[in-house]
Each structure stands twice: as C-alpha cells, then as structure tokens.
C-alpha cells in the first residue's frame, strides 16, 4: 500500500513539475520598469498641498559608477523649478543601484554640480521596485534620518507590494499600459520639541511604465484623507 502511495505521489509531482514548466510566466516578467543610463531624464509636474506648492521636477542621470555598498550606483540629480510664489527652490541628489532582485534608492547624497558626497544624514535604502519584475511581490522597508527634526531624527518602517495594473495610466507624457503599481504604507515616528513621540501614516501609490520609469504617483495619509501630493510625467528621454 505504501509503495502504491509513493508511486502515485511521484506521478503527481512529475505532472505538477511539467505543468509548472509549461505554464506561461506572469505578464511583463523580466521587464525593466526604471531604465537607468547616462543622460536619461524625466520631467514631472509635482503638486503639493492641493496646489500651494507646484513644481516642475527634472531628474537626470549624471553618473553611472558611484561606489556604493561594494558596487556601483547611478546618480540622479533632481532640480525643482517653482511654479508658485509659495514654492521654495529645491534640489536633491539620489543614487540607484540593483541588488538582490530589487532597485534600491539611497537618499542621503548631496552635490555641488561636480563633486558628489554622502551626507551621512540617514541610514538604510528604499527598495523601490522589483528589478527585473518576475511577478507580484511584497517586501518591507526600514529607514532612519538624522536630518529632520533636528532634535532627534525620524524613523520609518513600511510594507510594500507591487503588481501589474490592468488599468491604463493617462498623463501629459502619454498613455501607458501594463504599468507596475507599487503601493507603500509607511509608519513614521519622530520626537517633537517637547520630546513627545509623534506618529503618522503615509499611503503612497506609484505607477512605473515599462521602459520609461515613474509616470504617476499619489500620496495621502490613508483612505478618506486629503491627497498630499500628485506627481505626473510631462516628458522623458531614455535609452
């Protein structure tokens, strides 16, 4: 009896292996949703606080071989062009690198146009999306910054999930289909001037188009709350 059971089990496992091998891969498997190469650039319209702060944000790959975590990273400089009088000028420098099946973002850089350095104002990296994508994915993020607030810094932990969105995304730059939808729910904690622990939650949804990059993003403090920011792609140049 046990021998018959063992043979039956082996047959079932063999059939399962064949079916699995012949099954089509998930849609868009192996796709790169964030193409990084020297001089690639993206211009987004960014709206904060319902329009009080309005920017054109242009991100450009300015370096492709920054030593980081034992490997090489792409550096993207982001320039924010204020479109309202209330919006201050802003700029940032971030690095991207691929490791363990994810594209990571390192936030703690600064630059003067020529020189790039690590400010050491934070710890940790963001795993922003699977790279390449091989199917629905979930993961966790942990970050700590010493930059704000100045009296104690802030910590963030987040859960993230990514999947192909069946709905098309329409922005100024065009209509994009089969976008990777990345949804992040984060818990943030910091100390106020009276040393009280303040906590808040953010809900962030991003859409990345295959071979293009970020085409749309929306953030809020959760379902039913006002939208805090909207980002939409206006133009891009990638290779």
- Tens-place pLDDT, residues 67-117: 999 999 999 999 999 999 998 989 999 999 999 999 999 998 999 877 999
Residue showing tokens 């792409």:
74
Q: What is the pLDDT of residue 6?
A: 46
Q: Collect all residues with Cβ–Cβ distance below 8 Å to 21 and sequence separation of at least 6.
A: none
Q: What is the pLDDT of residue 155?
A: 78
- Percentage of the chain modeled with pLDDT above 90: 56
The pLDDT of residue 214 is above 70: yes
CB distance 151 to 190 below 8 Å: no
Report how far residue 169's alpha carbon sits from residue 162's, in angstroms, rounded to the nearest whole number: 16
Q: What is the dihedral of CA 95, 96, 99, 104, to 10 degrees?
A: 90
Report how far residue 74's alpha carbon sits from residue 36's, in angstroms, rounded to the nearest whole number: 7
The pLDDT of residue 197 is above 60: yes
Q: What is the DSSP string of 143-204?
A: EEESSSSTTT-EEEEEEEEEEEESS-EEETTEEE-SEEEEEEEEEEEEE-TT--EEEEEEEE
Both tokens of 11, joined, read: 């047959």
* Mean pLDDT calculated for residue range 30-59: 93
pTM of the model: 0.82
Report how far residue 164's alpha carbon sits from residue 50's, in angstroms, rounded to the nearest whole number: 28
Q: How confident is the model at residue 196 (pLDDT cuts 50, 70, 90)?
A: low
> C-alpha distances in angstroms, 16 versus 7, 10, 67?
14, 10, 45
Q: How confident is the model at residue 149 (pLDDT cuts 50, 70, 90)?
A: low
Of residues 125 and 93, more confidence is placed in: 93
Q: What is the pLDDT of residue 25?
A: 53
* Mean pLDDT calculated for residue range 188-192: 66
On average, the pLDDT of the chain sits at 84
Instruction: Determine the topology of domain 28-237 in CATH.
Output: YmcC-like fold (2.40.360)
User: How is the chain split into domains, by residue range?
Assistant: 28-237
Of residues 130 and 49, more confidence is placed in: 130
């Amino acid at each position: 009896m046990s021998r018959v059971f063992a043979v039956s089990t082996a047959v079932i496992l063999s059939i399962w292996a064949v079916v699995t091998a012949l099954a089509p891969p998930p849609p868009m498997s192996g796709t790169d949703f964030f193409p990084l190469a020297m001089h690639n650039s993206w211009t987004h319209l960014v709206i904060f606080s319902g329009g009080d702060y309005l920017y054109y944000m242009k991100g450009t790959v300015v370096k492709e071989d920054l030593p980081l975590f034992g490997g090489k990273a792409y550096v993207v400089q982001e320039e924010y062009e204020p479109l309202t009088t209330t919006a201050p000028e802003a700029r940032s420098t971030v690095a991207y690198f691929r490791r363990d099946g994810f594209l990571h973002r390192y936030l703690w850089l600064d630059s003067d146009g020529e020189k790039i350095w690590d400010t050491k104002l934070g710890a940790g990296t963001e795993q922003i999306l699977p790279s390449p994508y091989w199917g629905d994915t979930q993961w966790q993020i942990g970050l700590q910054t010493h930059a704000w607030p100045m009296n104690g810094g802030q910590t963030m932990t987040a859960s993230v999930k990514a999947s192909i969105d069946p709905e098309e995304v329409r922005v100024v730059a065009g209509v994009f289909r089969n976008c990777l939808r990345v949804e992040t729910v984060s818990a943030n904690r910091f100390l106020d001037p009276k040393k009280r622990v303040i906590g808040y939650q953010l809900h962030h949804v991003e859409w990345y188009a295959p071979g293009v990059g970020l085409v749309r993003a929306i953030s809020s403090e959760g379902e039913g709350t006002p939208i805090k920011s909207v980002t939409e792609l206006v133009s891009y140049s990638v290779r």
